[in-house]
């Protein structure tokens, strides 16, 4: 049987999943990492008035062309407290950064370039060019300008701009809702004391982290036993909550207790594919149930995390209207690797940095997909295409960065 390749599988997942159009208006503090759903138009002009970029004196340029000019200080203009009069020949106004430029003045001379004289006068020690240290009204943006376009991902700079255009809330896309359910009679939540044939369910936490890192909202449906009715009830909960994606963990393989797929099919899921040419993660299952994408991840923790990185991360970003993220880089192998079989291999590895900045990948000797400790120590996954030839140490390799 020829298995679907990772690339083809991902293309199918993305192609079928349509990003929702739900939007919400959120306070600025809650908008970090979110995607603008509409263009944002400036509600004010910035700067709203000509003002000084420095602490100094507002002058008429024609008065200070000659170094050593003497001017009478007739008042001051501070930020929030402008000077009401006008600067006339031989006069100046003490001015501070951000303060409105008084009428009549066209230049600011910084205070370090002046000397205070008695009798409320100053003398200039330098002759700045006309217009120096003045920020002109509207030089940043003008009321009515499109300040941010729909589709912009909101980061520090864009949030600051949005605030300065006087928007207190922004229209953003809602986060896609990703429901996660762990299946297995052997599973107990972290904090429990497992009996002889029980284990701690861990996958949910890593998979949820990948969802959250990529702009999704997690709906944790907990643990359900290997029982059709229980699995069916969890699926119904995901549907009732309006989940965009249902992620099932475990029960994806061929064992007698692997009931996830049959239960979903009996609820009307249309199966797209099951099993792909990758290791770990071969039993990956993808389908659709009434507009909800179903991603059935294998139970082995490393398999579920690798599948989540390869499929759930791009899917979540797609549904969140976020641009794709590339984790790929190149390195040189620290140790030889044998020829690969027909499954694309994701080899857990530590990464070190050489003095020239290049990366060296050190594959772990043990690659069992149940070993979370090895995965947690890994900085990357060496990606080996199907049927890759044996490689020697020093050979280049492609690496999917984990951190």
Ligand X SMILES: Nc1nc2c(c(=O)[nH]1)N[C@H]1C(S)=C(S)[C@@H](COP(=O)(O)OP(=O)(O)OC[C@H]3O[C@@H](n4cnc5c(N)ncnc54)[C@H](O)[C@@H]3O)O[C@H]1N2
- Report the interface residues with ligand MOO, using CB under 6 A: 279-282, 298, 300, 303, 369
Minimal distance in Å, beta carbon 221 to ligand X?
12
Minimal distance in Å, beta carbon 275 to ligand MOO?
9
Q: Which two tokens stand for residue 255?
A: 């064992």
- Residue pointed to by tokens 């070993």: 371
Residue 251: contacted member of ligand X, ligand MOO, none (CB under 5 to 8 Å, by partner type) = ligand X
In angstroms, rounded to a whole number, what is the distance separating the alpha carbons of residues 369 and 381? 13
Residue 252: contacted member of ligand X, ligand MOO, none (CB under 5 to 8 Å, by partner type) = ligand X
Residue 261: contacted member of ligand X, ligand MOO, none (CB under 5 to 8 Å, by partner type) = none
Residue 128: contacted member of ligand MOO, ligand X, none (CB under 5 to 8 Å, by partner type) = none
* Residues that bind ligand X in the complex, under the rule CB under 6 A: 182, 184, 186-187, 199, 201-203, 249-255, 258, 280, 282-283, 298-301, 303, 369-370
Residue 187: contacted member of ligand X, ligand MOO, none (CB under 5 to 8 Å, by partner type) = ligand X
How do strand 344-353 and strand 380-384 relate by DSSP bridges? antiparallel
104-134 burial: b if 16+ Cβ within 10 Å, else e: bbbbbbbbebbeeeeeeebebeebbeeebbb
Per DSSP, what are the bridge partners of residue 171?
25
Minimal distance in Å, beta carbon 400 to ligand X?
18
Q: Which residue, 349, 352, 351, 347, is CA-closest to 388?
A: 347
Query: Which CB, 313 or 345, lies closer to ligand MOO?
Result: 345
Q: Which residue, 36, 11, 22, 5, is CA-closest to 314?
A: 11
Residue 182: contacted member of ligand X, ligand MOO, none (CB under 5 to 8 Å, by partner type) = ligand X
Residue 202: contacted member of ligand MOO, ligand X, none (CB under 5 to 8 Å, by partner type) = ligand X
Minimal distance in Å, beta carbon 280 to ligand MOO?
3
Minimal distance in Å, beta carbon 307 to ligand X?
9
Minimal distance in Å, beta carbon 13 to ligand MOO?
17
Q: Which residue, 14, 158, 126, 142, is CA-closest to 59?
A: 126
Minimal distance in Å, beta carbon 314 to ligand X?
20
Q: Which residue, 109, 111, 106, 104, is CA-closest to 88?
A: 104
Q: 363: helix, coil or strand? A: strand
200-233 burial: b if 16+ Cβ within 10 Å, else e: ebbbbebbbebbeebbbbbbebebbebeeebbbe
Query: Which CB, 175 or 282, lies closer to ligand MOO?
Result: 282
In angstroms, rounded to a whole number, what is the distance separating the alpha carbons of residues 295 and 316? 12
By beta carbon distance, the residue nearest ligand X is: 299
């Amino acid at each position: 049987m020829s298995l679907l390749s990772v690339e083809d599988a991902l293309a199918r997942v993305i192609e079928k999943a349509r990003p929702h159009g739900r939007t919400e208006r959120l306070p600025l503090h809650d908008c970090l990492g979110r995607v603008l759903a509409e263009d944002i138009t400036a509600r004010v002009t910035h700067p709203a008035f000509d003002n000084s970029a420095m602490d100094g004196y507002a002058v008429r340029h024609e008065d200070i062309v000659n170094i050593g000019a003497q001017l009478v200080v007739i008042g001051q203009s501070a930020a929030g407290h402008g000077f009401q009069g006008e600067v006339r020949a031989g006069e100046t106004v003490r001015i501070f950064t951000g303060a409105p430029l008084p009428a009549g003045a066209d230049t600011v001379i910084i205070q370090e370039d002046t000397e205070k004289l008695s009798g409320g006068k100053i003398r200039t020690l330098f002759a700045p060019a006309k217009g120096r240290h003045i920020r002109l009204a509207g030089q940043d943006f003008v009321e009515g300008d499109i300040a941010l376009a729909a589709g912009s991902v909101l980061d520090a700079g864009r949030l600051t701009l949005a605030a300065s255009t006087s928007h207190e809330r922004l229209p953003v896309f809602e986060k896609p809702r990703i429901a996660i359910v762990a299946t297995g009679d052997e599973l107990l939540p972290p904090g429990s004391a497992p009996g002889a044939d029980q284990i701690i369910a861990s996958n949910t936490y890593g998979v949820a982290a990948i969802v959250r890192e990529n702009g999704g909202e997690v709906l944790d449906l907990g643990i359900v036993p290997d029982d059709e009715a229980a699995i069916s009830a969890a699926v119904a909960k995901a549907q009732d909550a309006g989940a965009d994606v249902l992620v099932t963990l475990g029960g994806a393989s061929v064992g007698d207790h692997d009931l996830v797929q049959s239960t979903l099919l009996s609820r009307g899921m249309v199966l797209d594919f099951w099993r792909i040419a990758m290791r770990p993660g071969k039993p990956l299952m993808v389908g659709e149930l009434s507009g909800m994408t179903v991603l059935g991840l294998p139970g082995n923790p490393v398999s579920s995390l690798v599948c989540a990185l390869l499929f759930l991360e791009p899917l979540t970003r797609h549904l969140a209207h976020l641009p794709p993220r590339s984790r790929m880089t190149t390195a040189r192998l620290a140790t030889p690797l044998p020829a690969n079989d027909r499954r694309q291999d994701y080899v857990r590895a530590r990464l070190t940095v050489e003095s020239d900045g290049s990366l060296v990948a050190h594959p772990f000797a043990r690659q069992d997909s149940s070993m979370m400790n090895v995965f947690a120590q890994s900085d990357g996954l060496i990606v080996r295409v199907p049927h890759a030839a044996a490689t020697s140490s020093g050979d280049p390799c492609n690496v999917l960065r984990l951190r």
